[in-house]
Chain A
Amino acid sequence: MFTSRDAGTPRAPSLPSLFLAHVRLVARLGWVELCVFMVATWLLCGWAASLVRGVPAHSYIDRQLGMHFMALVFAAYWPLAVWRDEAPRQRSYFWSLPLRRDHGTLVRVLAGLGVLLIATVVANAGGFLIGAAIGRAAEFRNVSPLAWLASGLGVTIVYLFASTIAVASDVPGRWILALACLVYAPPLMLPLPETLTFAIRPGPTWLYQGALGFDRATRFAVTQAQLDSRLSEFTPDQWLPASLVWLVVGAVFLWLAAQRRIDL
């Protein structure tokens, strides 16, 4: 079993190999949630498709059903699965691997993003097929590539912000839930007076509703895009600038969180 060998300079691991290792780890850790997300999306698509058979085209019925929140909610939740059992003060194993701490953190977050985007694409594709089979086939099949981009960017932005919390906080679940409730209370149309629901959002209104607002950056995520993509208003200038701004802001926040020094 034992062979004699001088211990020379150890080789460094390659980043692509590490990224794939973390992708597999993340997929193994969260496969149950991934399956629930995809199946739930397909069921909702099927339900929505069955409803729109009897209503005029260009309906916002999916928004009324809150379907477009499915992917955003999952994107907000997913970092909790990616970092399960690895809260910052439980990362002694993770941080003793041969990577700089911030690099290791970013590799894990990117691996989680990769898995999330794959799951989103699979969920969407399945939703399209189910929608085409049940509802108005033409509407569901005629989806612009921009819809996929808008969907992916929206999911990515929410994931980056939730990952920022998961990377930095020992109790990320509470923070993500609290922030999600504050940010999404108005769009979710909770049974509260509108002035109140908008008032409880942290920060000024332009953060959410302006040309570069957060709502605009994420509103075309996933299933909403399936129907909205056919609308004439679905043009890149509606969401792309806001999405890019919030993508950069999310990435900066994540990078800052990855720099946080914690002694173990």
Chain B
Amino acid sequence: MTPATSASDVPAVQTVAVEKRFGSHVVLRGAALLVPPGAFYLLAGANGAGKSTLIKILLDLVRADRGSAHVLGLDSVREVARLHASVGYVPDSGRTPHARLTVERGLAFHARHYPDWDRAYATGLARELAVPLERMGRSLSQSESVRVSLVAALAHRPPVLLLDEPFAGLDPTTRDSVLALLSDHLAAVQTTVLVATQDLVTVAPLIDHVGMLREGTLAVQAPVDVIRERFKRYRVRLPGPWAPQRALLDAAIEHTEGGRESEWAVWGEEGWATAAFEAAGAEVAEVRPMSAAEAIATLLRAGKTLDVH
């Protein structure tokens, strides 16, 4: 049995060649996720791309047809109990421990499963998130369920957090509270976070790694710094009819046609891209780095698979 560890040589979260189909619909085809220890990893992708399925495979809530999944070196099938003890999980739309218990009693039941549960910390989290402790689980709104799930996921200070759409249904004020609380938690507890969300703008300040699921595989997987370094917008003046190199076209994620001026989003070293434009007779008027959210959104719109190495 592999010991649970936060040692830097073991990926915090890893899937190897995971395949999953539901009936004739193939959701994942060889997904190879790699989340380094301590990372805040955004798992991005369109609706139905397989983000939730991949997270559920990590927890063995869904069994992969092929491949394997590991959290802190623990196999998701053979060591599921220890794996679950190491994880805080917020499912899509949240959930409460039991529909027919008050939130307070539900959390007390939940706490019995985690010897490291910090009652005072849980109380503080519930207060910060304005969790309605006296309400029955079945009467909670989606936003309230998500907040209850966050308390349940954080209060035992797990080394890994798996957050599936944690901002869904939250109003802007609550979303900011959740973000601030997550930031405080991460500052105090050594934690690896894997978050699947469409809300790129909200998580952008926190993320340091990104993976993008497309057609069942991770089309892009890289540190945010690398993406921002290699992925930039170029405003170029064109010499009239021109024929850029094939390599430049391959590296162009998207471009706009605007008469004599055009804007290109290109994946590659800035020096190489500039030289490629100039070799084709274009003049590079401006090179603009993108914000993390813009870069990710642009990559999501594109249909390309990138080799970050």
- Indicate if A96 sits at the interface (CB-CB under 8 A): yes
- Any B CB within 8 A of the CB of A55: no
Give CA–CA (A6, B191) in the complex, Å. Answer: 8
B121 / chain A contacts, CB cutoff of 8 Å: 1-3
Instruction: Give the interface size bracket for A toward B.
Output: 35 or more
Q: Please tell me if A193 contacts chain B, counting CB pairs below 8 Å.
A: no
In the assembled complex, which residues on chain B have CB atoms less than 8 Å from the CB atom of A95?
A: 60-61
With both beta carbons as reference points, the residue of chain B lying nearest to A30 in the complex is identified as B100
Judged by a CB distance under 8 angstroms, whether B200 is at the interface is: no
Bound-state Cα–Cα, A6 to B82, Å: 18
Interface status of B59 (Cβ within 8 A of chain A): yes
Contact A18 B84 (CB under 8 A): no
Shortest B145–chain A CB gap in Å is 11
Bound-state Cα–Cα, A1 to B118, Å? 11
Does A132 make an interface contact (CB < 8 A)?
Answer: no
- Chain A's nearest CB lies how many Å from the CB of B129? 12
For chain B, the count of residues having a C-beta within 8 Å of the partner chain is 50
Residues of B52-96 contacting chain A, CB below 8 A? 56, 59-63, 80-82, 84-86, 89, 91, 95-96
Name which of A1, A6, A24, A103 has the most chain B CB atoms within 10 A of its CB. A1
With A and B bound together, what is the CA distance between A6 and B189 in angstroms?
A: 6
Flag the segment in A9-17, A58-66, A143-151 that touches B.
A9-17
Main secondary structure of the interface of B (DSSP, over half): loop
- A98–B185 Cα distance when bound, in Å, is 22
Name the contact of A4 in the complex, choosing from B63, B156, B189 (C-beta under 8 A). B189
C-alpha spacing A13/B85, complex, angstroms: 9
Interface string of A91-125 (1 = CB under 8 A from B): 01101111111010000000000000000000000
Contact A99 B113 (CB under 8 A): yes
By a CB distance below 8 angstroms, the chain A residues around B98 are 25, 29, 85-86, 93
> How far is A86 from B98 in the complex, measured between Cα atoms in Å?
9
Is B112 part of the contact surface with A, judged by Cβ < 8 Å?
Answer: yes
Let me know if B109 and A12 touch, CB within 8 A.
no
Given contacts A21-B109, A92-B61, A263-B62, contact A29 B100 (CB under 8 A): yes
Chain A residues near B91: list those with CB within 8 A.
92, 96
Most buried by B among A3, A7, A24: A7
- Once the chains bind, are B112 and A17 in contact (CB under 8 Å)? yes
Per the bound structure, the CA–CA distance linking A86 and B110 in Å amounts to 15
A18 touching B112 by the CB < 8 A rule? yes
Stretch among B2-10, B241-249, B274-282 lining the A interface: B2-10
A103 touches B62 (CB 8 A): no
Which residues on B sit within 8 Å (CB–CB) of A7?
Answer: 6, 157-159, 189-191
A168 CB, nearest partner CB in chain B, Å? 17
Indicate if B50 sits at the interface (CB-CB under 8 A).
no
In the complex the two chains form, is A13's CB within 8 Å of B115's CB? yes
Closest 9 CB pairs of A and B: A7-B159, A21-B112, A98-B85, A1-B124, A2-B188, A98-B84, A11-B115, A10-B85, A9-B4
Known: A7-B159, A18-B112, A21-B109. 12 other contacts (CB 8 A): A1-B120, A1-B124, A2-B121, A5-B157, A6-B6, A12-B81, A12-B85, A25-B101, A96-B89, A97-B110, A103-B81, A264-B62
Task: Spell out B's residues near A (CB within 8 Å).
Answer: 3-6, 56, 59-63, 80-82, 84-86, 89, 91, 95-101, 105, 109-110, 112-116, 120-121, 124-125, 128, 138, 156-159, 184-185, 187-191
List 5 A-B residue pairs with CB atoms under 8 Å apart, sorted by A's residue number: A2-B187, A10-B115, A17-B112, A98-B82, A264-B62
